[in-house]
Amino acid sequence: MGDQAQILPGTLDLLILKAVSLGPLHGYGVLLRIGQISGQALLIEQGALYPALFRLVRQGLLTADWGISENNRKAKFYELTVAGRKRLGEELEGWNRLAAAMSTALDARPEEV
Amino acid sequence: MNFPGNIFGYLRCLGAKWFRRSHLADEMEDEVRSHLEHRADDLARTGMSRAAAERQARIEFGARGRYREESYQALGGSLIQGVFQDVQFAVRILRKSPGFVCAAVVTLALAIGANAVVFSIMNAFVLRPLNVPDPQSVYELQHGDEASGYESYPNYLDIRDRNHTFDSVMASNILPVGLDSGENPTREWVVEVSGNYFDGLQLQPYLGHFFHATDEHGPNSAPYIVLSHAFWHTHFQDDRGVIGRVVQVDRHPFTIIGVAPPGFAGTLLFFNPGFYVPIVNHSQLGVNDMNARESRWIFMTMGRLKKGVKPAQAMADLNAIGAELRRSYPKQVGNMTFSLASPALYGDYLGKPVKAFMAGLMLLAALILLAACANLGSLFSARAADRAKEVALRLALGSNRRRILRALFTEAILVSLLGGAVGLLGSVVLLRALSAWQPFPRWPIHVPVNPDARVYLVALMLTLASGLLFGAVPVKQILHANPYEIVKAGSMGRAGGKISLRDVLLVAQIAICAVLVTASLVAVRGLAHSLHDDFGFRMDNTMLVDTDLSTAGYPVDRVPAMQKRMIETLETTPGVESVGLNDNVPLGDGSEDTTVYTDATTALEPVNAACHPTVYSVSPGYFHAAGTALLQGREFTWHDDQGAPRVAIVNPEFARKLFGSPENAMGRFFKLRDGARAQVIGLVEQGKYLALTEAPQPAIFLPILQNPSTNTWLVVHSNRDPVPLAQAMRKRLQQLDPGLPFYIQPRIGEMDPILFGPRMATMALGVMGMMGAMLAITGVFAMAAYSVSKRMRELGIRIALGARRREVLLSALGRAFKLLAVGSGTGLLLGILASRVLAMIVLKATPDDPLVLTGAVLAMAALGLVATWIPAQRALGIDPMTLLREA
């Protein structure tokens, strides 16, 4: 597990929204999708995923519905709502600004100060 | 185990339904299962066996409890769900100790129940306003110098017409009448009211109509009846056709014109009259001359204040009228000042003592609740100590103290709610019975004390407050717990000799209990004593027959002959020794006082009065029949009549007041209110006349023939138990006049009203004392049991080393005994002090009584024995081998 990074606090919601924006997913699928799109670099605690999902549903960013999974099992599928898509955009923009600022800040060299 | 188990199961089911939680929980479980299956599918694909894959999936998922809790929070139900979780947890914990729960619930049920009952009674007597529109502006016109509302009719008319501050001034007078509605005549209690009574109170009839001020056209001009709703229900079976019916009242025709509204039972809270008749018809129902200004026969006058008028203004207005009347009629009107009071309890006459008594009772009930809280507090902290290891583990495993405290408080509140509910249920049953109770069969006196919303609210507040109170006791213990030390040492034990808060609580509780035990013993002894006191008349083998001849329509001139015939009829009944007649009996429910002057006084005005003795009109032979000793002189004879010189028999206190000493009184003269000179021809022993606790009062006795009265009390002395005689007496009297309503009771029965206060006080104290004792027992028991269970190992070692039973007991329970002794001692002392207050209600209530002191000490000792019996047995039954092996 050494090559997997702990996700930054507050970024779990963003990752979930992103994962679900690529297509409806059940809970375990969200986990797999995040692993897949991060190149298996980001580790999400399995038990922590669901409270986050429920929170997003309550905020109206996701909808949840029971269906049948690719394994032919009962599963609850999550889908992005319009509000969720809008929020994803805002969060992405915010993240990009933060990332740019962070990398600029961390690239600073003594002669630039 | 089964009983509380069922309750908890039910509660849980109810709670789950309430919060729709089970549905939510199911869905969450389903989702976790789905997740685990998908993960296991993936793992199995890597070549793992299915079982291993499922196991691995569960491990990866992590703690499910945490998942559940966080999910609930995420779902936004954090508060309600959190509370529910707490409750669920508390129920699970409490289920493990049903004995503890039962003890706590019973303790609290008693305390809350007592408070609910007392508060409900106070609510009915003191807090609930008169059941008329705008009750705040209705006042009794109470006399300024005494707590009464008596008035003469002419004075009432003047007050009514001359005041500028009242919308209306109403008069009401209570009296018994004979009602003949076609069946046997019965005696009923009615209220004579002024024509403006119903309009002044702003009431609307339930049926028919009321009479009004405009119906009053002089004496006997309004022969109308307005029935009370209850009387209409019981005597006329809700017959709506009753309106317009003519019935005989004291053998005069009266027409029923209406029924009063159901919520209204007169302006006196406790007195429920059968019906209302216009006061202008008074002379048909009594022999008093209603127009005599000096005769204050109206029971009460009331007024409804004009809007915006302050009571002080009204009082000034009334006092001005009083002064005016005093100037115009100096012979008939004495000092006349007024104060305003609530009519419900007859102003301050009953209002003050009832309020004081209720306040005292409420205080006692609060003390009981406090004792219960102290008790439960120590039970809870003993439990907290017992659970020290569990708490320590939870702290060590990362639970925070706030969470643990929340759980503790949830347990406390849950227990208190359960106890409060049980207590309230019990009190409702008791209050229902109390509401239907009629303490004096002769009088229509009862008070509905059914609980209302206010009572329920107070009970709920008390329940929650006590839950928080005793839940708070172990807080400090938890906050200061050091998990490391506790897990190591195994207990949250306290330092050996230090006095803890729990000890103080227990001592306070034992002291409170001892106070109650002492006070109730004092009251019981006092009551028992007072019944064997010398009242100046005989109590045993004596019956009373009472009637008012006016209720059978006897005109004044025929009354003496009828009274004489009644005496003769009863005297010839087999078994009867002697019969005497009095117009009121001492310590009965009626009395009359008069004004007398010294023989030398010429200006016969109230201010020059020599004395205001109680006055009785008695027949020849009365003192003999009543068992009142004639100290000097002679009894009256049938020759002491209107034609003979006026004579009187007096008591020592009267003789002292008028003539300096009893020896001086014989043969001397004094002047009666009407100016007639009366000669003292006899001296009888001092008695009690108005109250058991009174100081010696002056009293005079006049011959019934010279001072006639329709009010007839026959004192019947027999040579055996007189109760079986009642039948024979009733038959003979009915033969004499079938239309005469009368009432027969034993002598002691007539003292019910006078004994009511002391009896109630004694009973209340007894009940409270018993409850206090039960609380103290549980308190000491909890403490002793706790101290034994904490020291099991130590005691086992002592026994193994050869300690004797006495030493084991002393070391196990020494502390409990010490606390018991300190608490009892303090309580006894306080109880003795408190009993001095009691002496004002209960005659002869004195703590300086060896029986009371021994009784209290014995009671406390017995209580200690009961409370420590089981823990002591447990301490003695310790098997050192078992203990040492377990350790």
What tens digit of pLDDT does each residue of B563-606 get? 999 999 999 988 899 999 999 999 887 788 899 999 998 888 87
Average pLDDT, chain B: 84
- Range among B132-136, B483-487, B522-526 with highest mean pLDDT value: B132-136
Span B454-468, mean pLDDT? 92
Contacts of B66 in chain A (CB under 8 A): 47
The residue in chain B having the minimum alpha-carbon distance to the alpha carbon of residue A28 is B35
- Stronger pLDDT, B82 or B720, i.e. the higher one: B720
Q: Nearest by CB to A58, from B31, B39, B76: name it.
A: B76
Looking at residue A9, its pLDDT comes to 66
State how far the Cα of A19 lies from the Cα of A52, in Å rounded to an integer.
13
Which of A55-59, B247-251, B494-498 has maximum average pLDDT?
B247-251
Instruction: Please report, rounded to a whole number, the percentage of residues in chain A having pLDDT higher than 70.
Output: 90
Which residues of chain B lie closer than 8 angstroms to A73, CB-CB?
Answer: 34, 37-38, 41
The verdict on a CB contact (< 8 Å) between B32 and A54 is: no
Q: Which chain B residues are within 8 Å of A30, Cβ to Cβ?
A: none
Query: Interface of chain A against chain B, CB under 8 Å?
Result: 26-29, 45-48, 50-55, 58, 69, 71, 73-76
**H-assigned helices in B630-750:** 652-659, 725-736
Task: Indicate whether B506 pLDDT > 90.
Answer: no
| Residues 6 or more apart in contact with residue B682 via CB below 8 angstroms | B630, B632, B633, B634, B635, B649, B650, B666
For range B822-830, the mean pLDDT: 86
In this prediction, residue B442 carries a pLDDT of 73
pLDDT given at position B11: 53
Q: pLDDT confidence of B529, banded at 50, 70, 90?
A: confident
pLDDT at B82: 67
| Tens of pLDDT, residues B22-66 | 566 777 888 888 888 888 888 888 888 889 988 988 888 877 777
In this predicted structure, which of B382-396, B554-568, B664-678 has the lowest mean pLDDT? B382-396
Q: Count Cβ atoms within 10 A of the Cβ of residue B247 and give its class: 0-12 exposed, 13-18 middle, 19 or more buried.
A: middle
Residue B311 or B790, more confident:
B311
Give mean pLDDT, residues B412-438: 91
Strand, coil or helix: B173: strand
Q: Which amino acid is at B434?
A: L
CA B528/CA B526 separation, integer angstroms = 5
Quick check: B140 and B305 in contact, CB under 8 A?
no
What is the mean pLDDT of the segment spanning B401-412? 82
In this prediction, residues B652-677 reach a mean pLDDT of: 92
Q: What is the pLDDT of residue B586?
A: 92
The rounded distance, in Å, linking the Cα atoms of B436 and B449 is 9
| Residue with token string 């200061």 | B480
- pLDDT of B544 above 70: yes
Query: For residue A1, what pLDDT band results from cuts at 50, 70 and 90?
Result: very low
Q: Could you tell me the pLDDT band of residue B12, with boundaries at 50, 70 and 90?
A: low
In terms of phi and psi (left: phi > 0; alpha: psi -120 to 50; beta: otherwise), the region of B578 is beta
Q: For A54, which of B39, B61, B71 is closest by C-beta distance?
A: B71
Q: Are B203 and B216 in contact (CB under 8 A)?
A: no
For B132, B192, B195, B263, B485, the CA distances from B269, given in Å and listed in that order, are 12, 16, 21, 11, 65
Q: Could you tell me what percent of chain B has a pLDDT over 70? A: 91
- Average pLDDT rounded to a whole number, residues B644-671: 93
- B311 burial (CB, 10 Å; 0-12 / 13-18 / 19+) is middle
On the question of pLDDT at A4 being above 60, the answer is no
DSSP assignment string, B762-797: HHHHHHHHHHHHHHHHHHHHHHHHHHHHHTHHHHHH
Q: What is the pLDDT of residue B845?
A: 63
